[in-house]
Amino acid sequence: MARYVDVHPDNPQPRLLQQIVDALHDDQLIAYPTDSGYALGCQLGNRDARDRILRIRGLDERHHFTLVCKDFAQLGHLAKLDNSAFRAIKAATPGPYTFILPATQEVPRRLMHPKKRTVGVRIPDHVFVQALLDVLGEPLLTTTLILPGELEPRSLGWEIKEELDHQVDLVVEAGETLGEPTTVVDWSEGYPEVVRVGAGDPSRFEVD
């Protein structure tokens, strides 16, 4: 059965944050709220949890995983950005956007797209996620919690606990969260292409 951890949405308790980080260090898979619905997350090196995420979501090996970063400096270690991408992405973050970019050598190969050698990166605008990443000290491997046959991410912690009780190890509750996925912008070819419209305003990345 999954543990259910109720965290204060505005002032996450350090004791509970450490418990969640300890679970991640113990190779556990967590479901946690972001600024665009719930996500599944684990440590970058956790192969088993990565495979569990694919099974839960009904995805194949070509799925673009996202590396959730605390800040732009952390993002810059994982993805290659030219000047135009740097300026535009920096202006839009933190926020409900995922950017697909060429991966650096810091990214394990199994987390890249197998052919394109790209990776998804994002910096959420969410108090709990920022606090968690601060304690964790590294990016979090993640994907939006959209179950097979559904179009929107889950937004209720208790509902996830009930449905995925034996598929995840820990569910975090941290107040209300918007049940809308991120806007995904593919910048891997040197220009922005909006490939999914979600919570973030896509107009700032639309090229005439």
Per-residue confidence in pLDDT tens, the chain, 208 aa: 999 999 999 999 999 999 999 999 999 999 999 999 999 999 999 999 999 999 999 988 778 789 999 999 999 999 999 999 999 999 999 999 999 999 999 998 888 888 889 999 999 999 999 999 999 999 999 999 999 999 889 999 999 999 999 999 999 999 888 888 999 999 999 999 999 999 999 999 986 5
What pLDDT digit, counting tens, does each position of 166-178 carry?
A: 999 999 999 888 8
Q: Let me know: does 198 contact 36? Beta carbons within 8 Å.
A: yes
CA distances from 128 to 121, 139, 191 (A): 18, 14, 32
Give Cβ neighbours of residue 74 (< 8 Å, ≥ 6 apart).
138, 139
Q: Let me know: does 93 contact 64? Beta carbons within 8 Å.
A: no
Full-model pTM: 0.93
Choose among 206, 195, 177: nearest CA to 35: 177
Choose among 29, 135, 120, 8: nearest CA to 68: 120
Q: Let me know: does 94 contact 40? Beta carbons within 8 Å.
A: no
Q: Could you tell me the domains of the chain?
A: 3-205 (3.90.870.10)
- Cα-based angle 76, 82, 83 (whole degrees, multiple of 5): 100
Give Cβ neighbours of residue 208 (< 8 Å, ≥ 6 apart).
none
Choose among 203, 34, 186: nearest CA to 124: 34
At residue 122, the 3 state secondary structure works out as strand
Give 199's DSSP letter. S
What pLDDT digit, counting tens, does each position of 78-104 carry?
A: 999 999 999 999 999 999 999 999 999
Give 8's DSSP letter. -
Q: How far apart are CA 43 and CA 24, in angstroms?
A: 6
Choose among 121, 120, 129: nearest CA to 177: 129
Angle between helical axes of 14-25 and 127-136 (0-180°, round to 10): 60
Choose among 135, 132, 164, 138: nearest CA to 57: 164
